[in-house]
Amino acid sequence: MRLLLVEDDTMIGEGARKGLRQDGFVVDWVKDGQAAELALRTETYDMLLLDLGLPKRDGIDVLKALRARGDMLPVLIITARDAVADRVKGLDSGADDYVVKPFDLDELSARIRALLRRRSGRAESVIEHLGLKLDPASHLASFNGEPLALSSREFGILMVLLDHPGAILSRAQLEERLYGMDEAVESNAIEVHIHSLRKKIGHEFIRTVRGIGYMVPKRQ
């Protein structure tokens, strides 16, 4: 899951990025509103973590512009402004959730997962599909009851594919969802990971659609 973190304070940004990466998220971090809008237009994210008091362009303005162009990206506001009026304004401007500073890292991750779950239309946090069980909170996986040892990239690929079973994702699309702005991706990285996954869960689970990409079949 790829997140865009917009936070102008260096220490907070560094700490949050480090913590979220430890929890298995891919995190891009920008420090002002303009950089945020640029990143939103050029990259694909699963969620936006937005601080409000930003230089160059206020967080609320970024949010409003995002919603104005019909973007349904889940947005979680992280801010020090905790007055009721501020919360109402944030939520009414299009945010999905509101977290006040100082915040707990574990709670932040949990809220992110909750929002992602909601967006996927899932009720349960554990993802179950055709014998595969993925728990995003604990990063544990099992297949047909047998526990699986997955790297975070492999876990990530499965999460992305299981987001929309039946949808085909190209290699480029998978790369976008799994690698941050500042990470270098080797051209065959995805293939290597898919190959490794197939060794663990069999060749039937992840299907290759020639010329297009990869997919996980829908439930029968």
Q: Which residues bind another protein (CB under 8 A)?
A: 8-12, 14-16, 18-19, 22, 31, 55-56, 80-81, 101-106
CA angle 165, 167, 169 (to 5 degrees): 115
Residue 173: half-sphere exposure toward Cβ, Cα within 13 Å: 11
Do residues 172 and 44 lie in contact, with contact meaning Cβ atoms separated by under 8 Å?
no
We find the least distance from the C-beta atom of residue 57 to another protein, in angstroms, to be 10
Q: How many residues are there in the chain?
A: 220
Indicate the residue among 31 and 177 with the shorter CB distance to another protein: 31
**Peptide bond just before 165 cis, omega within 30 deg:** no
| DSSP string for residues in 64-98 | HHHHHTT----EEEEES--SHHHHHHHHHTT-SEE
We find the least distance from the C-beta atom of residue 211 to another protein, in angstroms, to be 43
Structure letter (DSSP) for residue 219: P
Indicate the residue among 106 and 191 with the shorter CB distance to another protein: 106
Indicate the residue among 39 and 105 with the shorter CB distance to another protein: 105
Do residues 216 and 164 lie in contact, with contact meaning Cβ atoms separated by under 8 Å?
no
We find the least distance from the C-beta atom of residue 144 to another protein, in angstroms, to be 31
CA angle 134, 140, 144 (to 5 degrees): 60
We find the least distance from the C-beta atom of residue 34 to another protein, in angstroms, to be 11
We find the least distance from the C-beta atom of residue 141 to another protein, in angstroms, to be 20
Q: How far apart are CA 54 and CA 36, in angstroms?
A: 10
Indicate the residue among 15 and 165 with the shorter CB distance to another protein: 15
Indicate the residue among 33 and 213 with the shorter CB distance to another protein: 33
Report which of 7, 4, 17, 95 is spatially closest to residue 46, judged by C-alpha positions: 4
Amino acid symbol at 181 = M
Indicate the residue among 22 and 151 with the shorter CB distance to another protein: 22
We find the least distance from the C-beta atom of residue 12 to another protein, in angstroms, to be 5
